[in-house]
Chains A and B, each alone.
Chain A
Amino acid sequence: SQQGEEDPQALSIQEGENATMNCSYKTSINNLQWYRQNSGRGLVHLILIRSNEREKHSGRLRVTLDTSKKSSSLLITASRAADTASYFCATYLIQGAQKLVFGQGTRLTINP
């Protein structure tokens, strides 16, 4: 079962521009997390936002969470070529066991 859905599936921008990715989910959550995956590698945790938080920053990353709309967005400012990767949102379901469920991901390409 896929809890989260990212939008867009793919995004291509010029270096220096901002990149925004969105995630929608279906059921109540404890927290929402964003991960990055470089091609052929494991995932790296970027940021965690709890259900009682609305916005969180980490360096060039800004994450927002709207629990009424069951959606989150990840903004990467001043993008760099090294930001080229796939980005996934993930959520733990409130009900049931401790399963972290991932979305399909957004493939971000930064053009020099």
Chain B
Amino acid sequence: DGGITQSPKYLFRKEGQNVTLSCEQNLNHDAMYWYRQDPGQGLRLIYYSQIVNDFQKGDIAEGYSVSREKKESFPLTVTSAQKNPTAFYLCASGRGEWEKLFFGSGTQLSVL
């Protein structure tokens, strides 16, 4: 089955710890995105990548980092610099310019 897979579904972070959220797609999409969603809110863009080995900051990139070493994978690291990391994180992919996005099922990150 083609799709986009996020893992883990739930993740807990301790103070001062970096954690990495996984996002894998087998749709052969060039573009990949990370969004953050707070309760009852819309989606805010963290980072996006339109091609392998290239990515751009979104609207709320501070405290996050990404890599795009393979077309299929776009992991997101939530660093200790992100002081309010508790949120629902959504990964998405798309064919490219002006296209619709396909979303993963999300990762709920909480702070211990």
Chain A interfacial positions (CB closer than 8 Å to B):
1-2, 30-31, 33, 40-45, 48, 88, 92, 97-105, 107
Contacts and interface: CB of A to CB of B under 8 A. Distances in A.
A103 B97 CA distance: 20
Nearest to A47: B100
B42 A2 contact: yes
User: What class of interface size applies to chain B in its complex with A?
Assistant: 20 to 34
Nearest to A105: B42
A104 B101 contact: no
Nearest to A48: B100
Given A31-B98, A98-B97, A41 B105 contact: yes
Q: Which 4 A-B pairs have the closest CB atoms?
A: A42-B103, A104-B42, A102-B43, A45-B100
Contacts of A102: 35, 42-44
A35 B111 CA distance: 29
B25 interface: no
Nearest to B42: A104
Contact of B101 (A30, A41, A100, A103): A100
Interface of B is mostly: strand
Contacts of B33: 100
A100 B69 CA distance: 22
Contacts of B104: 42
A88 B48 CA distance: 19
A17 to B, nearest CB: 24
Q: Which residue of A41, A97, A100 has the most chain B CB atoms within 10 A of its CB atom?
A: A100
A53 B10 CA distance: 41
Nearest to A92: B98
Interface in B33-74: 33, 35, 40-45, 48, 50, 56, 58-59
Contacts of A101: 45
18 contacts: A30-B98, A40-B108, A42-B90, A42-B92, A42-B104, A42-B105, A43-B103, A45-B100, A45-B102, A92-B98, A98-B31, A98-B97, A99-B45, A100-B45, A102-B42, A102-B43, A102-B44, A107-B40
